[in-house]
Amino acid sequence: MSVNVFVNNIEISVDPRISVLQACEIAGFDVPRFCYHERLSVAGNCRMCLVEVEKAPKLAASCAMPLMPGMRIKTNSPAVRKAREGVLEFLLINHPLDCPICDQGGECDLQDQAMVYGSDRGRFREYKRAIEDKNCGPLVKTIMTRCIHCTRCVRFANEVAGIADLGTSGRGSQIEIGMYIEKLFKSEFSGNVIDLCPVGALTSKPYAFSARPWELKSVESIDTLDGVGSNIRVDIRGYEIMRVLPSLNEELNEEWLNDKSRFSFDGLKRQRLCDPLLKQNDKFVQISWLKAFDIILTKLKQSNNNVTGVVGSQCDMESAFLLKTLLSLFGKAKVSGVNKNLLTNIDFEYLYKFNTKISNIEMADSCLLIGVDPRKEAAIVNLHLRKHYVNEGFKVASIGSFLNLTYPCTHLGSTSNDVLSLTQGQHDFCKVLRKSKRPLIIFGTNFLDLFTENTARLIIDFIAHNTKVVSKDWNGINFLGAQASQVGCAEIGLSSDTQSDKKSFIYAIGDATIEKKDETCFVVYQGHQGNSNALKADLILPGSAYTEKEATFINIEGRAQKTQKVLLAPGKAKEDSAILSTIIQLVNEDVSIVNSKFTEIESFNTTKTNFFKKDLSSKFSFGKVQNEFLIASSVNNFYLADPISKASPTMTKCSKQLLSKNPFVI
C-alpha cells in the first residue's frame, strides 16, 4: 500500500508509514536537521527541519509529521527559509566562536547549516551561558557549551547502548545534558556518540587536536579484533593512522562500532617487531631475512617430519593455508587453530559457525546463551540481541557466568550439570524453547573446550531434536567465536590442539599462543606484537598487522571479507603470506594452487543446515558429570582481549578506569 504526495510540486508514491522528512529525501530534496537520526526515536526538538504543508495553520516539523494522501509539501519556501534562519540564530546564541580549534571543524552540521541559513552578525547582547564540562571517561571529550540539546547522545545511550546514564536536567535556558550523578559513561559503544553529535560538544579524546578531516586519506577495511568482522574506515595522514570510524554495513555492524575496534589502533605503534631476531644465550640478536630463511629450512630438514603449526587470532586465511601447505611437505604435520578443542569433524558447518546470521537475530523468538558473554566476546551481536529485545521483548536466558547484557537475562545456572539438566527438561526455560518457532541457541568457545567432544555433540544433537531450533528455513544452533581467525581455521581444515604433543619444530603465526615446549624443540614465532609469546620463541619473524596487508578473514557467520593495505609494515617486517610463500619457494614447491583455493570461499547458506542424524538423542541419556565444572566466558576483559588491544595505551586506560570500582582515581 502506498500514498501519493507532492514535494515541491513533484508527485511521488511512498509508504504511508514514513515521515514527511523521509518522503522529501525520497523525492530528492535535502531537509536540514540536527536532532533527527534514522536509527533513533524521533525527538522533534531542534525545529530545523520545518517545512510548509499546504492548508496547515503553521509550519510543521517534518521529522515528526506523518504523511497524508495528497499532501503538498514545500521545503524551500520564503516562510520555511525565514523560520530556519530564526531557528539557527537561536541555536547560535550561546554557541562559542571556537571553530578554529574545534575538532568537529570541517565535519560539523552546524557549520554547514550556518553557511546556508546563518546571518553575518548576531543580535544577542546579553551574557552568554557557560556550562561545566562532564567527565565521560578516557574516550569521549566534552565541551558542553557547544551543545545544542539535540539529545542524540541521550537517545543512543538509552535506546541502542542500553546504558541509562545520559539524560537532561533543567528546563528552558538552564537545560543541560550529562550524568544525573558523577560517573563515567561505561558502554562498549560510547565512541558512537562522537559520530552522532552534530556539533563539537562530544569529540574524541585520543584524536583531540591531532588532524583536520581535509588532511586525511580514508581507506575502507574490516576489523579483526573480534569474530564479527565489522566494516571500518581507516583515516590516515602520511604514514600514521589518525582514527578508525565505522563503515555502513546493514547486515553486520549497521553504522556502529565498538570502542575497542575504534580506539585500539594506537597499539599498532607499540611493541612492534621490526627485524628478524634469533635467540642466542637467552638474548635476541638481529639477523637478516636470508639467514632467518636458512635457519628455518635447516631446522625443518632436521625435524624428522616431527613438525606442527599454531595459528593465532590475527592470522589471515592465506597465511594459515600457506602454513598448512609448508608443514605438509615435512610429513603429516598438524596445524592447530585458535580453539584448543575444536570439534574435529569440521565437515559440518553448524559445529563452528554462527548459522543464524547476525542480520537474522531479529527473527528469533527466544534465546539461550551457553558459556558465552556476547557483550564481551562480540559486542555487535549483543547490540542486535538488545535491539530485538527492545522491539519484540523476546526472552533471553543463560548458563554460565552472571551476565550484564544491558537487557534482562534469566540465569539458569553456572555449571556443566546445569547444561545437562537442560537436556532433561528440568528448567522452566525448556518450555519456552519447545514453544518457540525460531529459538536461538548460542554456544561459546568454552563450551567446546570444557566438554568432551562426544558429550558436546550429543548435547547439540539432543537440543536440535527436541526443539524447533533446526528446521527447513531456520538454524538456531550458533557458535560465537571471539577470534577473527576462528572460522577460517575450520574452513581450511585445521585440527584441534597439537601443542601438547612432543614436537621438534613449532611454527606459530598470527600472534599465536605458545605453550610450554620441550627444550630440544625449535620454535618460530611470526607476528607483529612483541609479547610474552614472542619471548618463548627461538626465532622471531616480523609480520604485518591487519592494517598493513590485503588479506582474507572469515567472520563468525562464514562471510569472507578482505582487509585493505592502509600502511606499510614498519622496519623490515613483511606480509605474513609473503614470508611463507618465500619459504615454500625455497624448497622448490609450486604455490600456484594458493590463488585458486580462496576463490571457493563463499558465505554460509542457511538452507543447508540440517546435518543432524535422526533420532540420535533418543539413544542417549545424560546423567550427572562426576567432576562438575564451571562454564564461563572465554573473555574476561573486553578492553584487553587481543594482542593489539593489550599493547594499546588507550585500552589500558579504559581497563583501569571503566572496570575499576573507583573510576575517578587513575
Confidence label for 501 from pLDDT (cuts 50, 70 and 90): low
What is the overall mean pLDDT for the chain?
A: 86
CA distances from 446 to 301, 399, 629, 634 (A): 37, 12, 12, 6
Rounded CA gap, 252 and 557, in Å?
10
Stated as kind and residue range, the H or E segment containing 134 is: none
Residues 150-199 have pLDDT tens digits of 999 999 999 999 998 889 998 888 889 988 888 899 999 999 999 999 99
Stated as kind and residue range, the H or E segment containing 480 is: strand 477-480
**Residues 440/445/447/449 CA torsion (nearest 10 deg):** 160
Confidence label for 615 from pLDDT (cuts 50, 70 and 90): very low
Rounded CA gap, 544 and 191, in Å?
27
Confidence label for 433 from pLDDT (cuts 50, 70 and 90): confident
Angle, CA 579 vertex, CA 576 and CA 582 arms, to 5°: 145
Rounded CA gap, 648 and 51, in Å?
48
CA distances from 266 to 61, 269, 282, 386, 648 (A): 43, 6, 30, 30, 5
Q: Nearest to residue 546, comparing CAs of 310, 230, 255?
A: 230
Per cent of the chain over pLDDT 90 is 58
Per cent of the chain over pLDDT 70 is 88
Q: Can you give the pLDDT at residue 600?
A: 47
Q: Can you give the pLDDT at residue 519?
A: 78
Distance of CA 598 to the CA centre of its chain: 24
Q: Can you give the pLDDT at residue 328?
A: 84
Give the DSSP per-residue string, 338-357: S-TT--S-TTSGGGTSBTT-
Q: How far apart are the first and last CA of the chain?
A: 58
Q: Can you give the pLDDT at residue 454?
A: 67
534 pLDDT higher than 60: yes
**Count of beta carbons in the 10 Å neighbourhood of residue 174:** 9
Rounded CA gap, 160 and 157, in Å?
6
462 pLDDT higher than 90: no
**Count of beta carbons in the 10 Å neighbourhood of residue 345:** 10
**Count of beta carbons in the 10 Å neighbourhood of residue 167:** 15
Quickly tell me which residue has 536466558 as its cell.
Answer: 397
Query: For residue 428, what is its C-alpha cell?
Result: 522452566
The answer to whether the beta carbons of residues 655 and 640 sit under 8 Å apart is yes
Rounded CA gap, 34 and 155, in Å?
13
**Count of beta carbons in the 10 Å neighbourhood of residue 73:** 28
Q: Can you give the pLDDT at residue 61?
A: 95
Q: Can you give the pLDDT at residue 540?
A: 96
What single-letter DSSP state applies at residue 663?
T
Residues 84-109 have pLDDT tens digits of 999 999 999 889 989 999 999 999 99
Coil, strand or helix at 49: coil
What single-letter DSSP state applies at residue 296?
H
Query: For residue 278, what is its C-alpha cell?
Result: 634469533
Angle, CA 432 vertex, CA 429 and CA 438 arms, to 5°: 125
CA distances from 652 to 52, 138, 333, 642, 657 (A): 52, 10, 38, 12, 9
**Count of beta carbons in the 10 Å neighbourhood of residue 489:** 29
Residues 594-609 have pLDDT tens digits of 454 444 443 433 333 3
In DSSP terms, 3 is beta-bridged to 14
Q: Can you give the pLDDT at residue 516?
A: 63
Rounded CA gap, 12 and 637, in Å?
52
User: Pairing between strand 283-286 and 560-562?
Assistant: unpaired
Q: Can you give the pLDDT at residue 457?
A: 73
Q: Nearest to residue 566, comparing CAs of 235, 247, 267, 265?
A: 235
In DSSP terms, 552 is beta-bridged to 562
Rounded CA gap, 1 and 81, in Å?
33
The answer to whether the beta carbons of residues 656 and 186 sit under 8 Å apart is no
Instruction: Kindly provide the b/e burial profile for residues 5-16, where b requires at least 16 CB atoms within 10 angstroms of the residue's own CB.
Output: bbbeeeeeebee
Choice among 169-178, 221-230, 392-401, 593-602 with the minimum mean pLDDT: 593-602
Distance of CA 343 to the CA centre of its chain: 25
**Count of beta carbons in the 10 Å neighbourhood of residue 587:** 13
Rounded mean pLDDT, 136-148: 93
Q: Can you give the pLDDT at residue 73?
A: 95
Choice among 342-351, 364-373, 535-544, 598-607 with the minimum mean pLDDT: 598-607
Greater confidence, 446 or 381? 381
Choice among 49-53, 181-185, 373-377, 630-634 with the minimum mean pLDDT: 630-634
379 pLDDT higher than 80: yes
569 pLDDT higher than 60: yes
The answer to whether the beta carbons of residues 462 and 617 sit under 8 Å apart is yes
